Structure 1
Amino acid sequence: MEQLSAGQKLDHAFEELGKEKSISFELDLDTDAQSLKALDASSDPEPGEEMSDDIAELFSGVKANVTLQSKKPIAESGEKDYVGMSLKIGNKDGDLTEYRVVGDYTYIRSDVDAVGKAMGFPAPSAKDLPPGADGLKKVLQGQWVKINTKEFEKGTADMGAVPGAKPAPEPTLDAKTQQRLLEALRGTIAREVDFRTVDGKDGAERITATAPFRTLITKLFGEIRPLAKNLPMGMELPTDKDLKDAPNAKVAADFTLKNGELTEVSVDLAELAENAKVKKLGLVVRMVDGQTPTAPAGATEMGVDELLGGFGAAMMDQEAFSEDAA
C-alpha cells in the first residue's frame, strides 16, 4: 500500500505541475571540486587535458535558474507554444551568464572575463575586435545585447551547409508519440522503482525512489524502442549491449512534496561514479515562485554576422598572439 500510495502522490504532483503555463526552478550541482577532479581522473584524460582547479571550482559552485512560459499547459506545449524563457547561470561570486527569449529576440549578457579565466581562455580585449563591432564590445563589458532569434537560427543552420541544399526539417515529436513515451516512462518506474515515504520538515512529505541504474535504463529503453520510427531523425537509441557496462549501483532520488505540490527533487549520483574518491555528486532541482521573462531595457542589437564572425576573428587574433608569444 505504501508503494502504491507514494507512486500515486508523485504521479499526481507531476500532473499538477504539467498543468501550469509557467514554471521556474533552480538547478544546483551538489558537489565539490575534489569530487569533480576525481571523476575527471577516472576518465583517463590525455596529458595536459586534465580538469584544472579553476574549472573544478567553477562547476562545483554553479547554479542555474530556469523559467519557461507557454501559451498552453507545460505538459501539452511544443517548441512553438513557448512565449518566453530565461536561463541564468552563476556561482558564489555572482552571475556568469544569462539569456532570455522574449518575443522575436534573444537577449544575452555574460561576465566574459570570469568565464574565460576559469576556462583558461582569456577573453579578447575590445582593441582586438574589428571596426564597427559595437555589439561585441558591449558583450565584453558584460552589458545586454539582443539578436533576432529567427535570423540567428537561420545563420547557425546555414553554417557548413551544402550550397543550394534544402535545410533539414527540425526534429519534432507529435503529441501521440509524446504521450506514449510518457506512458513508457511511467510504466517502467512503476515496475522497477521502490518507493518509501518519510516525514519531512515543516509539514512537508519526502518520498524516496530507489532503483538499480542499469536495470532501470535497460528496461526503459526496451519500452521506447518500439517507438523509434516515430522519433526525430538522427535520434539513435542505445542497445542492451551498449548498456551492459553501465553501473548497476542503486540510485536514490528524494522528492519533497508540500500540500501535494512538488517543491524539490534531489538525486545522489556518487555511486554511479564507481570511484571511492568521488565523495559528493548530486543534482538538486528546487521549484521557485513563477517569474515572467521580460526584455531588459537598453539592450544593443547585434547582427548575426557580427556575432558569428566578430568573435571568430577576435579569437583567431588571440591565438596568433599566443603562438607568437610562445
Structure 2
Amino acid sequence: MEQLSAGKKLDQAFGKLGKEKTISFELGLDTDAQSLKALDASSDPEPGEEMPDEAADLLSGAKISVTVQSKKPIDESGEKDYVGMAMKVSTKDGDLVEYRVVGDYTYIRSDTDSLGKAMDAPLPSAKDLPPEASGLKKVLEGEWVKFNTKEMEKTTAEMGAEPGAKPAPEQPTLDAKTQKQLLEALRETIAREVDFKTAGDKDGSEHITATAPFRTLITEFFGEIRPLAKNLPPGMELPTDKDLKDAPNTKVTADFTLKNDELTEVYVDLAKLAENAKVKKLGLVVRMSEGQTPTAPAGATELNIDEILGGFGAAMMEEEDFGEEGLLEEDFPEDAA
C-alpha cells in the first residue's frame, strides 16, 4: 500500500507541475572539487587534459537557473509553443553567464574573465577587438547585448550551406503527442522498476524516496520508448541494450520533497555510480520555484550579425595565430593595397 500511495502522490505532483504554463527551477551539483577531480581522473584523460583546479572549484559550486514559458500547459506544449526562456549559470562568486529568449530577440551577458579562468583559456579582452566591433566590446565588458534570433539562425544556416544550395527544410521537432508518449513510457517504467517509500517532515513537507538499480531502470525505459524512435527529431538516436550493458547496476536513490502536494525539490545521490572510492560526494539537486515570466533586460546593445560572426572570430584568430605580441607594424606597410 505504501508503494502505491507514494507513487501516486509523486505522479500527481508531476501532473500538477505539467499543467503550469511557466516553470522555474534551479539545477546544481552537491559535490566538492576533490570528488570532481577524482571522477575526472577515473576517465583516464590524456596528459595535460586533466580537469583544471579552477574548473573543479567552479563546477562544485555552480548552479543553473532555468525558466520556461509556454502558450499552453507544459505537458501539452510542442517546441513551437514556447514563447520565452531564461537561463543563468552562477557560482559562489557571482553570475557566470545568462541568456534570455524573449520575443524576436536573444539577450546575453557574461563574466568573460571568470569563464576564461574556468576553461583555462583566457578570452580576448575588449581592447583586442577592432573599433567597429563596439557591440562585442559590450559582451567582453559584461554588459547585456541582444541579437535577432531568426536572423542569426538564417545566417548560420546559410554559412554552412553549399553555394547555390536550396534552403534546408525545417527540421521536425518533438511534438506534444510524442512528449506525452515519452512521459507515459517513463511513468510505466518507474511504476514497474522503482521502490517507493514515504516519510513526513517537521516543516510540513513530505519526503518520498525512489530507489532502483540504475542499469535496469534505463534499459527498461529505453526499451519502452524504442517504438517511438521514428517520431524523434533527427540526431536523437537511442542507445541499444548492448550500449547499456556496461552501465553500473548499483541502486540509486532519488529523494523527492513535496509541500502542499507540490514538488519542491529532487535530490539524486550519484556517488555510487562513479564506482570510485575517492568520489565521496556527488549529488544532483533540482529545486522548483514559482514560475517567473522571462523579461527583456533594459538597455541591451543590439549586435549586428556580421559583427558577431566576423569581429569576434577575427579577435580569436589574432589571439591564436599571433600570440600576446600581436602584429608587427612592418606586417602592414602603409602603402599596402
Give the TM-score category using the shorter length: over 0.9
**Structure 2 CA distance for aligned equivalents of residues 17 and 244 of structure 1:** 33
Matches within 5 A, 1:108-187: 108-163=108-163, 164-187=165-188
Letter in 2 for 1:106: T
Do the aligned partners of 2:212 and 2:251 also contact (CA within 8 Å) in 1?
Answer: yes
Q: Does 2:61 match 1:58?
A: no
Alignment-derived partner of residue 305 in structure 2: 304
User: CA deviation digits over 1:157-216, x for unaligned, max 9?
Assistant: 334322314314323123332222111111100000000101123010000000000000
1:207 counterpart residue number = 208
How far 1:91 moved relative to its partner?
Answer: 0.5
| Pairing 1:16–2:16 present | yes
Aligned to 1:221: 222
Distance in 2 (alpha carbons) for counterparts of 1:204 and 1:55: 35
Matches within 5 A, 1:249-264: 249-264=250-265
Q: Secondary structure at the match of 1:24?
A: strand
Instruction: Give yes or no for contact 2:252–2:268 (8 Å, CA) kept in 1.
Output: yes
Paired amino acid for 1:197: T
- Residue in 1 that maps onto 2:33: 33
Aligned to 1:96: 96
SS of the aligned residue for 1:290 comes to coil
Measured after TM superposition, the shift of residue 323 of structure 1 is: 8.0
Equivalent-residue separation in structure 1 for 2:159 and 2:53 (angstroms)? 34
**Following the alignment from structure 2 to structure 1, what is the Cα–Cα distance between the partners of residues 67 and 122?**
30
TM-score by length of 1: 0.96
Deviation per CA, 1:133-154: give whole Å up to 9, x if none. 0110000110000010111122
Corresponding letter in the other structure for 1:211: A
What SS does the aligned partner of 2:203 have? helix
Distance 1:45 1:275 in 2: 15
Identify the range of structure 1 (233-242 vs 250-259) with the bigger mean alpha-carbon deviation.
Answer: 233-242
Structure 1 vs Structure 2 CA RMSD: 1.5
Partner amino acid, structure 1, of 2:73: P
Task: Quote the residue 1:231 is aligned against.
Answer: 232
How far the C-alpha of 1:81 sits from its partner, in A, is 1.4
Q: 2 CA distance for matches of 1:94 and 1:2?
A: 43
Alignment: residue pair count: 325
Distance 2:93 2:35 in 1: 21
In 1: Cα distance, 2:118 partner to 2:176 partner: 42
Give the drift of 1:230. 1.8
**Unpaired segments ≥5 residues, structure 2:** 327-337
Q: Which residue of 1 aligns with 2:319?
A: 318
CA positional deviation for 1:324: 6.8
Q: Quick one: distance in 1 between partners of 2:313 and 2:130? A: 10
Worse overlay, 86-95 or 308-317: 308-317
Question: 1:243-254 counterparts in 2 under 5 A?
Answer: 243-254=244-255
Name the counterpart of 2:5.
Answer: 5
- The question of whether the paired residues in 1 share the 8 Å contact of 2:75 and 2:179 is answered with no
How does the TM-score come out when normalised to structure 2?
Answer: 0.93
Query: What is the CA deviation profile of residues 43-79 of structure 1, one whole-angstrom value per residue up to 9, with x for unaligned ones?
Result: 0000000001001001111011111111111111122
- Which 4+ runs in 1 deviate beyond 4 A? none
Task: Please tell me the residue identity of whatever aligns with 2:46.
Answer: E
Q: Which amino acid aligns with 1:202?
A: D
For 1:205 and 1:216, locate their aligned partners in 2 and report how far apart those are by CA, in whole Å: 24
| Corresponding residue number in structure 2 for 1:283 | 284
CA deviation profile, 1:197-255 (whole Å, cap 9, x unmatched): 01123010000000000000111111111111222222211111111000111111000
> Quick one: distance in 1 between partners of 2:125 and 2:175?
46
Distance 1:178 1:57 in 2: 36
Cα separation, partners in 2 of 1:159 and 1:211, compared to 1, 3 Å: farther
Query: Per-residue displacement from partner, 1:10-46 (whole Å, max 9, x unpaired)?
Result: 1100110011111111111111101111011000000
Alpha-carbon contact 2:174-2:233 (below 8 Å) kept:
yes
The answer on whether the counterparts of 2:79 and 2:174 sit within 8 Å (CA) in structure 1 is no
Match for residue 87 of structure 1? 87
Matched position secondary structure for 2:86: strand
Indicate the residue corresponding to 1:273 in structure 2: 274
